[in-house]
Structure 1
Amino acid sequence: MTVSPDKDTTRVDIADVDVVAPNFKRRLSGVTSTIIQLVPMQRALGQRVATLGPGLPTDLPHIRFSDLFSLWRPPAGRSNRVWHARRNTEMLPGIILRDLLRMPLKLLFTSAAQRRHSRYTKFLIGRMDAVIATSARSGSFLEVPHTVIQHGVDLERFHPPTGSDDTIAATGLPGKYLVGCFGRVRHQKGTDLFVRAMIELLPRFPDWTAVISGRITPEHKAFGDGLKAEIAAAGLTDRIVFLGEVDDIKPWYRRLTLYVAPSRNEGFGLTPLEAMASQTAVVTSDAGAYGEMTIEGQTGSIAPAGDGTALTAAIGRYLGDPERALTHGEAALRHVRQNFALEKEARAIGRVYEKTA
């Protein structure tokens, strides 16, 4: 749904908002994707959440910056609203609104980072009323009490194949099976590890074709061009295909037999969950929360982050045995449905809201 500038039908009355979810980053990121998926589910569950800020779809329930002047008055039946920040740039305004302007707010921060926090970030986190960690690993870097709530995936949007459009035949690409790697094309994401694994493996497994989807930003153009040159030198341009940014990635997950997430470092990392919800087996690094969402030998395989040799070996075991990949894809679907439904995440966050406010 789109909204015309003169008829903002998804603007929410601030009096009906219990939780403000700010998003102060224009460019799409993993955090932004989380907000986009989570807020509609939260609203469906009766949680009165509204977004604030740029870089979000126009159909998300939201308030405007001018509505912040109304935050001095709490919503009906409550003493405080919750300001749910996910970045430093969102924690700081919350602190200013609560501590300097004396607005009745409780501050909640969700931390996905898997590294030692800077002094500044520690200071901000220390001013929060409650903290959520998106994984046990990210929680291990926090020095304050916190609740671990792992991200979930929308099981209606990401689902198993349903027809001929969800097959490799629909793509016009060669082979019987697709292996894919999705996300921004850059060193951090390990795209080079995937490409080099494919260059080594595909000549031995002619039934497979590899696809890479994701944005190549100007600062990473040389990196992407270098990978394309390596592929061309190996004579595999028709079997290792860069799709660029696609309008709808969901069908591509369903077309895959194997998904690879080779990140060197990651916050949480949703793509393996999206793949598993699409009934696709996964090979991941142990970056982010990948190791907490993948069951080794059942739903996929895990390799040490940055270890190209181990990653190649893990992928090779599936390329050599497609039936194993299909079986693990079925197990992955059951695993995600049981443990990583978006509704489960939304309900858990709702309990934190109630406890905090």
Structure 2
Amino acid sequence: MNVGLTLYGGLERRSGGFRYDRKLVEGLRRAGDTVDVVELPWRRYGRGLLDNASRRLRDRLRVDVDVMLQDELAHPSLVRTNRHLPYPVVSVVHHLRASESRRLSPLYRAIERRYLGTVDGVVCNSSATETVVAGLGVDTDATVVAPPAGDRFDPDVDRATIDRRARERPLRIAFVGTVAPRKGLTTLVEGLAGSGTEAELTVVGRPADETYVEAVRRRVRRHDLGGRVRMAGELSDEALSAALRSSHVLAVPSRYEGFGIVYLEGMSFGLPAIASSAGGAAETVTDGETGVLVDPGDAEAVAAAIARFAGDPDRLAAMGQAARRRYERHPDWTETTARVRRLLRATVSGGAAV
């Protein structure tokens, strides 16, 4: 097949959604398909909506493909543009704005519903995402759940390593993600402060919202956590691998995660997760077995989880072992690509996905 991929920015970005897109392109090319990547300039939401009046954008998207994949993140620029395109479209949905609890959710829901009404199929990164997509009117016969693999590092971590690490103190917690409100870092800092432990936190990620970063720093100062919270910024894969290998727990108590590939990547190191109960994280993190699920904004639940991990090394070791086993049985990128290709072939032929 001749396949296109339309997205904001470029495939070189390091967040989970862009890694998914990049690995999907690599998998399609290995399978013998050609892939033409169309990179659109980053837009604020309102500016993206104005793109739909741009003839120049429509001309740029008139490429010779059998089917076009679109990263749903770019939907503001495509919600009306899609009606002018000469090929079938399959949207790749990592995370719907409408899923977040925020003031503008009704607006996002209306626009995303309209956008999804212009596509012929949808790739969902989790069953939770598929449920939300179906709630916006998409026929599930035209969707496929193709979760990302978590093999970014694929470290050699055995039971003895997990057990030995669980006995070390203080408890070491890693947060990995964009430093922005949705990821729940302020909730994590409040939970750390209220845990009654000497646990330490390393924050890895790009600061996407400087106002929010300052709010995090204020909480660190307010609770006198300066010696126990390290803002590491973005790290190379090698440095991030080292940070995860030396940690005990991965904690990202987000408002919402469509899938949460970071939890799976932490599990590859035998790290149980403190994860969001909202969205798709529960498909990877089993509460009480491979981690702890907390409601968005619940700092007390985060504090309780940290205290239990710090106070019970046997439980920490057992959950770390279970986390590693969960990682080992997760589908790889070959299986994910195969699921997407089946949907693409069915879309091109006008049939249903199998």
Band of TM-score, shorter chain: 0.7 to 0.9
| Counterparts in 2 of 1:197 and 1:88: CA distance versus 1, 3 Å | closer
Mapped to 2, the partners of 1:19 and 1:331 lie a distance apart of: 39
The normalised TM-score by structure 2 is 0.75
Contact kept in structure 1, 2:177 and 2:206, CA below 8 Å? yes
Mapped to 1, the partners of 2:61 and 2:183 lie a distance apart of: 37
- Segments of 5+ residues of structure 2 without an aligned counterpart are 43-57, 100-105, 349-354
| Counterparts in 2 of 1:70 and 1:38: CA distance versus 1, 3 Å | closer
Secondary structure of the structure 2 residue equivalent to 1:23? strand
Q: Which residue of 2 aligns with 1:4?
A: none
**2:197 pairs with 1:205:** yes
**2:235 pairs with 1:246:** yes
The partner residue of 1:36 within 6, 9, 22 is 22
AA at the equivalent of 2:2: D
Q: How does 1:7-18 map to 2 (within 5 A)?
A: 18=2
* Distance apart, 1:49 and its partner CA: 3.2
Mapped to 2, the partners of 1:110 and 1:53 lie a distance apart of: 15
**2:253 pairs with 1:262:** yes
Identity %: 21
Contact kept in structure 1, 2:250 and 2:266, CA below 8 Å? yes
The partner residue of 1:285 within 276, 283, 292 is 276
The partner residue of 1:157 within 153, 156, 162 is 153
Contact kept in structure 2, 1:109 and 1:132, CA below 8 Å? yes
Secondary structure of the structure 1 residue equivalent to 2:257? coil
* Distance apart, 1:263 and its partner CA: 0.6
| Counterparts in 2 of 1:273 and 1:45: CA distance versus 1, 3 Å | farther
- Segments of 5+ residues of structure 1 without an aligned counterpart are 1-16, 57-64, 75-80
Q: Which residue of 2 aligns with 1:87?
A: 72
The partner residue of 1:185 within 149, 161, 179 is 179
Secondary structure of the structure 1 residue equivalent to 2:263? helix
Secondary structure of the structure 1 residue equivalent to 2:182? coil
Q: Which residue of 2 aligns with 1:127?
A: 118
Mapped to 2, the partners of 1:47 and 1:159 lie a distance apart of: 30
The alignment of Structure 1 onto Structure 2 pairs a total of residues equal to 309
Q: How does 1:17-96 map to 2 (within 5 A)?
A: 18-25=2-9, 29-53=15-39, 71=64, 81-87=66-72, 89=74, 96=81
Secondary structure of the structure 1 residue equivalent to 2:28? helix
Contact kept in structure 2, 1:161 and 1:255, CA below 8 Å? no
Bigger helix share: 2
| Counterparts in 2 of 1:255 and 1:342: CA distance versus 1, 3 Å | farther
| Counterparts in 2 of 1:160 and 1:254: CA distance versus 1, 3 Å | farther
**2:88 pairs with 1:106:** yes
- For residues 89-138 of structure 1, the C-alpha deviation after alignment (integer angstroms, 9 at most, x for no partner) is 358659757x536x3x2211123326365333222211211123322322
| Counterparts in 2 of 1:215 and 1:350: CA distance versus 1, 3 Å | same
Secondary structure of the structure 1 residue equivalent to 2:74? helix
Contact kept in structure 2, 1:23 and 1:90, CA below 8 Å? no
Q: Which residue of 1 aligns with 2:47?
A: none
Contact kept in structure 2, 1:265 and 1:287, CA below 8 Å? yes
